[in-house]
């Protein structure tokens, strides 16, 4: 008989901070440059060189700390983590151990069960990234690219408060949204700017003590995180139910084989011989500094969503979609401000037609081919009856294809709605004269035929007549 198992997950998220230069050197951090072109003597760990802290990372970490209601340490200390690896030029990584810059934060998520959950954030600390080894295309030898060495990272460590792979993904997505909102990380997962390690264990439901955990390394897509955790959970449960025990170890997720496998056990783990880095002074932060950073805090996703519901009277689903990214929210508010139509109509256009076009072309909101002002210009033409909603979709596509503003397209394609009752009356009279048989049927009580007449008029006017106006006029004349 099988017991019910509880899954316990904690995440260590590595967010690359979006600074222009590295954490301890003046080298640029841009992604994709030729190997070793963005590594100076400090990054290469040359004899005699010294690290100098990039103050921008302190600002970013502070901002993050405040955003997750954490304590920002008045004094934090950089420490050396010592180990040998070819992509680690100094033979140690500068990180923070005992005194990290951020501690005791929290985040609220809506779990799979629909309940709100508090996820504790144990700490977030600053550290430098390593370079990378290159094995492809070099025959028997290996290459080392140190462009990434010294790139600033914020490692965000959660409490083991997550209870399912889905919740883990929800939490990580939320952190992803927040760092993006704060402008402290581009969160680009393909480029490795946002990745995580997951500590996973299981225990019989109701048991207090945690089970032995395995650490899954370097998960760099939301999909893989969920799959890797689920597979690891399955492995651990099967193992225990077969009478085995989980050993504490580091495991790697292989997305091709869809399995996790052991990298190294606890016994094989390095002794990193951490100690405070004597080349760097402790980071000391004043209350004034923290308050100055707090004053620059942007509106965060939860608050923005609540405001959208309240101020724009949006449906909560729409508000959630529109606040998923700060740029999308800004775009939407740009449309709202510029249009006379209602905020919900603006939301329908941003989510519906614009969202669809972006999706179809694989673009992000920042790549939108239509600006918020231009979209507002289109929505206004519906609002003031210049065009119908149906024609508007045609105008939107033309605008997307670069044919100019809504007014330009309406003008050049002659899509302006006909509201001149004299012009409409001529067509209405013609349609009545041409379809005397249907007129007789209508008059005999077949009311549904009104649609037929409206359709004919719209056909004759190529859709440009105001349908409401046509409908009314037909009803009057056919009485």
Q: In 3D, which of 325, 380, 390 has the Cα closest to residue 351?
A: 325
Which residues on adjacent β-strands are paired with residue 118? 108
Place of tokens 């901070």: 17
Does 41 bind other proteins (CB under 8 A)? Our answer is: yes
* Footprint (CB under 8 A) of other proteins, residues 404-463: none
CB of 150 vs other proteins, minimal distance in Å: 14
CB of 135 vs other proteins, minimal distance in Å: 12
Does 138 bind other proteins (CB under 8 A)? Our answer is: no
Stretch that binds other proteins, among 81-89, 251-259, 350-358, 369-377 (CB under 8 A): 81-89
Report strand pairing: 275-276 vs 259-265. unpaired
Integer-rounded Cα radius of gyration of the chain: 30
The single-letter DSSP state of residue 365 is G
Does 55 bind other proteins (CB under 8 A)? Our answer is: no
Cβ closest to other proteins, residue 46 vs residue 254: 46
Cβ closest to other proteins, residue 50 vs residue 433: 50
Does 89 bind other proteins (CB under 8 A)? Our answer is: yes
Cα–Cα dist 118/163, whole Å: 11
CB atoms within 10 A of CB 41: 12
CB of 28 vs other proteins, minimal distance in Å: 18
Cβ closest to other proteins, residue 85 vs residue 397: 85
Does 52 bind other proteins (CB under 8 A)? Our answer is: yes
Cα–Cα dist 392/370, whole Å: 14
Calculate the CA 366 to chain-centre distance.
13
Stretch that binds other proteins, among 13-21, 49-57, 109-117, 214-222 (CB under 8 A): 49-57
CB of 82 vs other proteins, minimal distance in Å: 5
Cβ closest to other proteins, residue 279 vs residue 420: 279
Q: In 3D, which of 282, 129, 138, 239 has the Cα closest to residue 192?
A: 129
Which residues on adjacent β-strands are paired with residue 204? 5
CB of 40 vs other proteins, minimal distance in Å: 10
Cβ closest to other proteins, residue 258 vs residue 279: 279
CB of 198 vs other proteins, minimal distance in Å: 25
Does 21 bind other proteins (CB under 8 A)? Our answer is: no
Does 45 bind other proteins (CB under 8 A)? Our answer is: yes
Does 47 bind other proteins (CB under 8 A)? Our answer is: yes
Cα–Cα dist 248/201, whole Å: 10
- Of 49, 97, 134, 478, the residue at the interface with other proteins (CB under 8 A) is 49
Cβ closest to other proteins, residue 284 vs residue 411: 284
Calculate the CA 212 to chain-centre distance.
32
CB of 99 vs other proteins, minimal distance in Å: 14
The single-letter DSSP state of residue 448 is G
Q: In 3D, which of 271, 272, 280, 273 has the Cα closest to residue 78?
A: 280
Contact 272, 83 (CB under 8 A): yes
Cβ closest to other proteins, residue 87 vs residue 191: 87
Cβ closest to other proteins, residue 50 vs residue 115: 50
* Footprint (CB under 8 A) of other proteins, residues 273-312: 273-275, 278-281
Cα separations (Å) of 255 from 15, 228, 233? 22, 8, 16
CB of 159 vs other proteins, minimal distance in Å: 24
Stretch that binds other proteins, among 59-67, 80-88, 353-361, 439-447 (CB under 8 A): 80-88
Cβ closest to other proteins, residue 53 vs residue 290: 53
* Footprint (CB under 8 A) of other proteins, residues 143-202: 144
Does 91 bind other proteins (CB under 8 A)? Our answer is: yes
Contact 326, 180 (CB under 8 A): yes
Cβ closest to other proteins, residue 49 vs residue 239: 49
Please report how many Cα atoms fall inside a 13 Å half-sphere around the Cα of residue 398, on the Cβ side: 19
Residues 204-209: contacts with CB within 8 Å, 24+ apart?
A: 204/3, 204/4, 204/5, 204/6, 205/3, 205/4, 205/5, 205/6, 206/6, 207/6
Cα–Cα dist 217/260, whole Å: 10
Stretch that binds other proteins, among 44-52, 386-394, 405-413, 417-425 (CB under 8 A): 44-52
Cα–Cα dist 146/71, whole Å: 34
Cα–Cα dist 294/67, whole Å: 9
The single-letter DSSP state of residue 352 is I
- Of 2, 32, 34, 48, the residue at the interface with other proteins (CB under 8 A) is 48
Does 90 bind other proteins (CB under 8 A)? Our answer is: yes
Cα–Cα dist 444/149, whole Å: 85
- Of 50, 295, 436, 444, the residue at the interface with other proteins (CB under 8 A) is 50
Stretch that binds other proteins, among 90-98, 299-307, 365-373, 403-411 (CB under 8 A): 90-98
Cβ closest to other proteins, residue 3 vs residue 41: 41
- Binding site residues, other proteins, CB under 8 A: 41, 44-53, 80, 82, 84, 86, 89-92, 144, 271, 273-275, 278-281
């Amino acid at each position: 008989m099988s017991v019910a198992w509880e899954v316990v997950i904690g995440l260590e998220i590595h967010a690359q901070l979006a600074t222009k230069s590295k954490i301890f050197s003046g080298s640029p951090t841009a992604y994709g440059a030729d190997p070793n072109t963005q590594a100076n003597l400090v990054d290469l760990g040359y004899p005699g060189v010294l690290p100098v802290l990039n103050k921008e990372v302190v600002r970013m970490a502070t901002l993050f700390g405040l955003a997750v209601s954490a304590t920002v340490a008045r004094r934090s200390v950089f420490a050396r983590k010592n180990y040998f690896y070819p992509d680690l030029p100094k033979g140690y990584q500068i990180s923070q151990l005992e005194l990290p810059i951020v501690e005791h934060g929290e985040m609220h998520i809506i779990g799979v069960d629909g309940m709100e959950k508090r996820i504790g954030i144990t700490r977030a600390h600053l550290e430098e990234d390593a370079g990378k080894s290159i094995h492809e295309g070099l025959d028997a030898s290996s290459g080392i690219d140190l462009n990434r060495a010294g790139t600033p990272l914020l490692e965000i460590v959660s409490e083991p408060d997550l209870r399912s792979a889905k919740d883990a993904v929800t939490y990580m997505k939320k952190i992803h949204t927040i760092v993006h909102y704060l402008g402290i990380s581009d969160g680009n997962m393909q480029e490795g700017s946002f990745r995580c390690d997951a500590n996973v264990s299981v225990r019989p439901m109701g048991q207090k003590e945690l089970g032995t955990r395995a650490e899954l390394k370097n998960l760099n897509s939301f999909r893989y995180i969920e799959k890797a955790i689920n597979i690891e959970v399955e492995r651990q449960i099967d193992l225990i139910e077969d009478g085995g025990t989980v050993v504490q170890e580091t495991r790697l997720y292989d997305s091709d084989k869809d399995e996790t496998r052991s990298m190294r056990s606890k016994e094989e783990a390095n002794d990193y011989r951490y100690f405070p880095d004597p080349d760097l002074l402790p980071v000391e932060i004043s209350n004034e500094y923290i308050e100055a950073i707090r004053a620059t805090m942007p509106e965060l996703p939860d608050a923005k969503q609540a405001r959208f519901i309240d101020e724009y009277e949006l449906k909560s689903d729409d508000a959630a979609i529109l606040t998923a990214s700060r740029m999308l929210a800004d775009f939407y508010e740009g449309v709202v401000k510029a249009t006379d139509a209602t905020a919900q109509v603006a939301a329908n256009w941003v989510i519906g037609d614009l969202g669809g076009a972006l999706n179809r072309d694989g673009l992000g909101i920042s790549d939108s081919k239509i600006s918020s002002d231009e979209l507002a210009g289109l929505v206004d033409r519906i609002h003031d009856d210049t065009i119908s909603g149906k024609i508007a979709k045609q105008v939107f596509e033309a605008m997307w294809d670069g044919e100019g503003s809504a007014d330009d397209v309406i003008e050049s394609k002659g899509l302006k709605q006909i509201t001149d009752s004299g012009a409409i009356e001529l067509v209405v009279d013609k349609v009545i004269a041409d379809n005397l048989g249907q007129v007789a049927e209508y008059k005999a009580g077949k009311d549904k035929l009104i649609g037929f007449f409206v359709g004919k008029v719209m056909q004759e006017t190529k859709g440009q007549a105001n349908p409401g106006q046509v409908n009314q006029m037909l009803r009057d004349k056919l009485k």
